[in-house]
Amino acid sequence: MVEPQRPTLKIGRCLFFILFFLGAIAPSYSYVLTESTLRVPIRWSSSNLQINVDTSANDFDPSKNIFCRHLSLSLQATCTARASTDINEVLSLWNQASPVGITSNPYSANRLSFSSDPRFFSPGVVAVTLLSYNPGDGIIKNGQIYVNHQTNPGFCFTQSKSAMGCVYLGDVIAHELGHFAGLAHSEVRESTMLFTSFRGQHGLHQDDVSGLRSIYHATAFGKIRGRVLGGNRVPVFGAHVQAISLKTGDVAASALTQENGSFVIDGLDVEHTYYLYTEPLRKLDSLPDAFRSAKNTFCPGSYVGSFFETCASQTRGQPQAVRLSSSQSDLDVGVVSIRCQVRVSPTYLDAKLRTGSGVYEFSSQPSRPISSFVGYYSSTEIISSSDPDEAREDLIKLDLSYLGDLPFGSTLVMKILSTAIGSPVDFSVNLSGPFGSLTDPDRPQVNPNPGRDYPPPRTETSTLRPLFQRQLSYPLSATGSQNLLDISLAPRALDAYEIMMTMPDSSTFTLKDRPYLVMFEIHRGNQVLYSDLGGRISDNSSCIDAPYTFAVKANNVSSAAMAGQQEEAGTSQVAGASCGTIEPPNSSGGSGPASFVLGLLLIAFLPQKIRSKKS
C-alpha cells in the first residue's frame, strides 16, 4: 500500500512568526501550553471554565464541498444538517471529558464558522483559529475558528467517520477547540492535539485533559517532576517524558524537558501508579520553535525510548512504579537517564539470544507483591504479520503463592502497552494456571479472517480503527499455593493496513525496535487487592547512559525575524501572523483514510497601541 505523500507547502515562516508572538511553550509541558511574548500561559479568564462559542449561524455551503456540491438541493440541505451534527457531537464529547466547558451561545463574540475567504486560507489549509489576548497576563479576549469550505478532499460527516479518502469534520473541530482553549501540539501518539489526523481524534485523549487541567489550575491533581540527563551528567533538552497509568494501561500525560533537563508532568490523577517512558522528539517542525534545536544523537546513533528503572541489575526490565497520593501529590523522581538501548532483564535477554524467546520469572515479595515487565523485539527479528509467531513468543512465569490465600473471586488483570508508544506489534496471549488455559480472553473467539489463526483486535465502534491496547483477566485460586501462572505472548507484526489505521504519520512515529510493557494487578471485582505500589524512588544518578551527550540550547527567535514581523494589519490596528491546518494531499496510490497536517492555528495580537503602517 502506498503511503500518501505529504503536501509541499511553505509554512516554515508562518510557524516562525507564530512563535515570535506566542513565545516558547510553557516550561515542561508536552501537551504544550501556548505562551504570550512575556512567557505567560495564554488562557481564558472564566472562573467557571466556560467558553461560549456561537455555532448557531451555520454558514456551511454545500455547493463548495467536494462531496456535496453534485447533490440535489434537498440532499445539499442534508449536508448542512450533518455539519451541525458533527459540531454538536464534538462539543458534547469535549464537555464530557474536559475540565474546560465549551457551550454554544448565539450571543457570543467568539465564533466557529465556515469560510472560503482567501485572507484566511492559503492553498491546502483546512482551518485556522485566531486568538486575541493581552500579552501581559495572557488572558484571551476573543477567539474565532474558521473552517475552509473548499477542503479537497472534502469533509465526511458523523455517519461516515470510517470513510476512505476524506477528512472527518469532527476531527478538525476537536483539534481546533484544543487550540481555542490554549493548547498547542502534543507528541503523544493518540492525542487530539497531535499535529496530524487519525481516526478517533475527535475524542479528547487523557493527555489533552491533563494539559487543560494545568492551564486552568484545576485542583486535586498531581505532578511528577525530575531531570533527564545523559553522559557526564549533561542535561538533555527536548526529551519527551510520558507518564503511563497502571490503572488505564495507557499514556496519561507527558512533558518536554527544558535546557536544564527538567520536566514537570502536571494534571495527573492521584491515588494512581505511573511508569515513566522517555524518548526523543519525533517531529520537530510541528512543535514550537524553541524545540527545533533538540538533538538525539547522544549514543552511537540516536538514544532510544526507555522506561525509568532503578540502577540495580536484578530489576532491569521492571520499571519503577511512581505512586501519587493525596498526601504526596507532587513527586520529584530525581535523575532519569536516557538510554542507548532498551533495558531488559539479563535472564530475559539470555533466553532470547539462545532460543528466540525471552523469559521473565517473578515471585511475589513483601516489598513488591506484583510487578510489570518490559519486553522487546529488535528490528533484526523477523516476525510474521499473518499469524502469531510462536517460535518467538515471550514467557512470563508468575509465582503468587507468597500472597497466601486470596478472597474468592480474585482475578489477575493484565494490560499490554505497545502501539501507544509506537511499537507496531500485536500478541496472541495464553494464560495458564489453576483453572487451565485461556487464549486471548479479551477478544472475540469467532475469527472472521479465514486463513488466519488468531482472533482480530476489537475496533472502535464509529471509526473501525483497530484497538491494540490489551486488558485480559484470569481467575485466581483462593488457595494461594495454587497460584502459579505461565503466560505466553506470541508476537505478530502489524501489517501495512493496520499500521496506517493505528499509527498517525507512521513513517515518523513507528519504532524500528518494538518495546512493549506488560502490567499486572490483582482485583476482586472493582477492588484492587494488590498493585505495583512502588515505594521509595531510586533515581539513575549512578547509572547514567548515552556517553556522547552534549549540551543543547533552545532555539531563539532572531532579532531580524522580530523586526520583519511588522506587517500590515489594516483597520484592526493589530499585527499578526497565521498558520493553518493542512488538508491531505490527493493520492491515487493509497486506499486508506486521508492523513493531513494540523498546524498551530493561532493568530496572536499585539497591544492596541502598536500599529502597523499601511502599505
pLDDT of res. 201: 87
176 shares a domain with 31: yes
Mean pLDDT of the chain: 79
**Continuous segment of H or E residues that includes residue 18:** helix 12-22
Statement to judge: residues 564 and 472 lie in one domain: no
For residue 32, pLDDT over 50 is answered with no
Domain presence at residue 371: yes
Q: How far apart, in whole angstroms, are the C-alpha atoms of residue 338 and residue 296?
A: 10
Question: Looking at residue 155, what is its pLDDT?
Answer: 78
- Return the pLDDT at 74: 72
| Helix or strand run (H / E) with residue 474 | strand 470-475
In a domain, 544, yes or no: no
Indicate if the pLDDT at residue 104 is higher than 80: yes
Q: Are 254 and 241 in contact (CB under 8 A)?
A: yes
Reduce the DSSP state of residue 179 to 3 states and report it.
Answer: helix
Give the model confidence (pLDDT) of 347-375 as tens digits. Answer: 999 999 999 999 999 999 888 899 999 99
Give 19's pLDDT tier (boundaries 50, 70, 90). Answer: very low
pLDDT of 21 over the 90 cut: no
* pLDDT for res 587: 32
Q: Is residue 599 part of a domain?
A: no
Q: Which of 237, 170, 221, 136 is nearest to 608 (CA)?
A: 136
- Out of 135-139, 255-259, 291-295, which region has the weakest mean confidence (pLDDT)? 135-139
Looking at 10-14, 153-157, 226-230, 252-256, which range is the least confident one? 10-14
Q: Please check the confidence at residue 249 and state whether its pLDDT lies above 60.
A: yes
Is 220 contained in some domain?
no
Residue 360 belongs to what H/E stretch?
Answer: strand 359-363
If pLDDT is split at 50, 70 and 90, which confidence band does 286 have?
confident
For residue 594, report the phi and psi dihedrals to the nearest 5 degrees.
-65, 145
Of 482, 534, 608, 502, nearest in space to 194 by CA: 502
pLDDT band at 70 (very low <50, low <70, confident <90, very high): low
Q: What is the pLDDT of residue 9?
A: 30
pLDDT of residue 390: 87
Q: Is pLDDT larger for residue 269 or for residue 568?
A: 269
- Confidence (pLDDT) at 48: 62
Which whole-number Å values give the CA distances from 540 to 91, 277, 535, in the listed order? 44, 14, 16
pLDDT of 35 reads 52
- Check the CA dihedral 187-192-193-199 and report its sign: positive
Question: Left (φ > 0), alpha (ψ -120 to 50) or beta: where does 464 sit?
Answer: left
The predicted pLDDT at position 585 comes to 34
pLDDT at 458: 85
* Pairwise CA distance, residues 31 & 265, whole Å: 9
pLDDT at 236: 98
Mean pLDDT score, 194-201: 82
Structural domain count of the chain: 2
Q: If DSSP states are collapsed to H, E and C, what string results for 383-424?
A: CCCCCCCHHHCEEEEEECHHHCCCCCCEEEEEEEECHHHCCC
pLDDT value at position 169?
87
Q: What DSSP element (H or E) covers 13?
A: helix 12-22
**Mean pLDDT comparison of 26-30, 43-47, 489-493, 604-608, highest-scoring range:** 489-493
pLDDT band at 108 (very low <50, low <70, confident <90, very high): confident
d(CA 168, CA 157): 6
Q: Which of 107-116, 205-214, 412-421, 440-449 has the lowest mean pLDDT?
A: 440-449
Residue 603 clears pLDDT 60, i.e. is over it: no
- Residue 57 inside a domain? The answer is yes
Residue 69, CB-side half-sphere exposure with 13 Å CA sphere: 12
Name the grid cell of 257.
524537558
Same domain, 55 and 179: yes
Query: Which range is most confident: 252-256, 448-452, 577-581?
Result: 252-256
pLDDT at 40: 66
- Residue 538 inside a domain? The answer is no
What is the pLDDT confidence band of residue 453, given thresholds at 50, 70 and 90? low
Q: What pLDDT score does 37 carry? A: 53
pLDDT value at 566 more than 50: no
CA dihedral defined by 240, 241, 247, 250, rounded to 10 degrees? 10
Residue 569 has pLDDT above 50, yes or no: no
Examine the pLDDT at 404 and tell me if it is beyond 70.
yes
Q: Are residues 76 and 115 in the same domain?
A: yes
Domain identity same for 148 and 46: yes
517 with 562, same domain? no
Q: What is the pLDDT of residue 611?
A: 26
pLDDT of residue 592: 33
DSSP character for 429?
A: E
Distance CA 405, CA 398 (A): 16
CATH of the domain at 488: 2.60.120.380
CA dihedral 509, 499, 587, 128 (to 10 degrees): -50
**DSSP letter, residue 78:** H
> What cell does 436 get?
487451565
355: CB partners within 8 A, 6+ apart = none
Q: Are residue 426 and residue 569 in the same domain, yes or no? A: no
Q: What is the mean pLDDT of residues 174-186?
A: 89
**pLDDT at residue 576, rounded to an integer:** 27
Q: At a CB cut-off of 8 Å and minimum separation 6, what does 324 contact?
A: 222, 224, 268, 269, 270, 271, 272, 273, 274, 331
- 428 and 354: one domain? yes
User: 12-16, 288-292, 297-301, 315-319: which has the minimum mean pLDDT?
Assistant: 12-16
Give the model's pLDDT for residue 13.
29
* pLDDT tops 50 at residue 426: yes
Q: How far is CA 456 from CA 414, 431, 438, 467, 530, in A?
A: 18, 18, 16, 10, 30
Residue 143 lies in a domain: yes
My answer on whether 421 and 508 are in the same domain is yes
Q: In which element (H, E) is residue 508 found?
A: helix 506-509
Same domain, 508 and 570: no
What residues make up the domain containing 195? 12-214+558-582
Distances (CA, A) of 437 to 207, 433, 473, 487: 36, 7, 12, 9
510-531: pLDDT as tens digits: 999 999 999 999 999 999 999 9
Quote the pLDDT of residue 30: 41
Q: Return the pLDDT at 58.
A: 60
The residue length of the chain stands at: 615
pLDDT at 594: 31
Given pLDDT bands bounded at 50, 70 and 90, which one contains residue 317? very high
CATH code of the domain containing 62: 3.40.390.10
Phi, psi of 502 (to 5 degrees): -105, -35
76-90, 323-337, 426-440: segment of lowest average pLDDT: 76-90
Residue 466 in any domain: the answer is: yes
Same domain as 563, residue 447? no
Q: What is the pLDDT of residues 324-353, one digit of tens each?
A: 999 999 999 999 999 999 999 999 999 999
Contact between residue 146 and residue 57 where contact means Cβ atoms under 8 Å apart = no
Q: Check residue 55 and give its pLDDT.
A: 58
- On whether both 571 and 446 belong to a single domain, the answer is no
